[in-house]
Copies of this chain bind each other. A is one copy, B any other.
Amino acid sequence: MFEEKKSSTTPLSSLGEFGLIEKIKEGFPIAQASSKVGIGDDAAVVHHPDQTVVSTDMLVEGVHFDLSYVPLKHLGYKAVMVNLSDIYAMNAHPTQITVSIAVSNRFPLEAIEELYAGIGHACTRYKVDLVGGDTTSSQTGLVISVTAMGSVKKEKISYRSGAKENDLIVLSGDLGGAYTGLQILEREKAVYKVNPQSQPDLSTYAYAVERQLKPEARKDIVELLEELKIVPTSMIDVSDGLSSELLHLSKASKVGCQLYEDKIPIDPQVLAICKEFTINNTTAALNGGEDYELLFTVDQSHFEAIKNHPLLSIIGHITDQASGCNLVTGLGQQIELTAQGWTSHPEEEEL
């Protein structure tokens, strides 16, 4: 961690764009039936008999990631996850991705190979094909742009706009991990700057740090919903924080919502880190972001199927639009949700 890798030796310029594309192509065989032609022509050819969903996200060095503590392999993996998460949030299955990177010559070939190793790991694990992309030089930082495509039957698509009054609000997994993991990494970076000999022991923070560095898109939840024969009335992934996502969903569905503070699932390790950093844990969950959990609404008739499922939490319900979007605190107060989220400590509002 925090080490500059000096062992790498192959300058990118020695390979050229075409050499790099050949190398990448070798590592990414086509697996999906819907991928007809992958890397190597002017465009890839795919065929989805059902509906195709498409999403794209760009990650920029210094804005979305800090290479002083994000290993390139993890970065490649995360860049794919961020996009697959959007596909799952439509209740669809991802099938293909394209990846464009702009990279400065300060990166040797081995660094790019690390990045693509992470992308490849994500592709293998999530059964997604890399079918195209672009590699170009950059005069400054690293930029990764991923476009993901997925497939879904028309009647199974979950938009943001379908939530109905009295629907249950359901969340997968738990929140706040990625945000608290980032706090740990930033602290260790600051320590390292003062003392480059320091060897941080992150083992007690492993869960939170992993949530930040190596998030997983919730493929399992979309599969579970299929098994349970539930099509969410609305769905969104939690990339920006629960508060902001709930507001998006409510606005698109023209409804209000009631969220219960004591129902928000937070891992004990995250609670401990919040205590250590004197961060309000509800604030971390509401505004932290980057957890890539799925937030969705279902008809009340599914209550029994969901209520005790270990991967799911019912955290509230949908109301009429006039009632607005509210958080009911542990003490029973009702507070309006805002995009910046509720906070008991005003000084944390930039969170």
Contact = CB atoms under 8 A, between A and B. Distances in A.
Interface of A: 36-37, 40-48, 50-58, 60-64, 86-87, 89-90, 92, 96, 98, 100-102, 131-134, 136-141, 143, 145, 147-150, 154, 157, 159-161, 235-237, 252
Nearest to A145: B145
Contacts of A237: 42
Contacts of A51: 36, 45-47
A236 B41 CA distance: 8
8 contacts: A41-B90, A42-B89, A43-B150, A45-B157, A46-B51, A60-B102, A60-B143, A140-B140
Contacts of A56: 98, 100, 132-134, 145, 147
Contact of A45 (B47, B52, B57): B52
A340 to B, nearest CB: 11
A43 B58 contact: no
B40 A55 contact: no
Contacts of A90: 41-43, 45
Contacts of A45: 51-54, 90, 157
Given A51-B36, A54-B98, A98-B54, A42 B160 contact: yes
Q: Tell me which of A40, A52, A145, A252 has the highest count of chain B C-beta atoms within 10 A of its own C-beta.
A: A145
A138 B147 CA distance: 19
A87 B134 CA distance: 15
A61 to B, nearest CB: 8
A46 B54 contact: yes
Contacts of A100: 56-58, 145
A87 B43 contact: yes
Contacts of A236: 42
Nearest to A37: B159
B252 A40 contact: yes
Contacts of A63: 102, 136-139
Given A48-B48, A48-B52, 14 more contacts: A41-B161, A42-B87, A43-B92, A43-B150, A44-B53, A44-B55, A47-B48, A47-B51, A47-B52, A54-B131, A58-B102, A58-B134, A58-B145, A145-B145
A86 B43 contact: yes
A231 to B, nearest CB: 15
B46 A139 contact: no
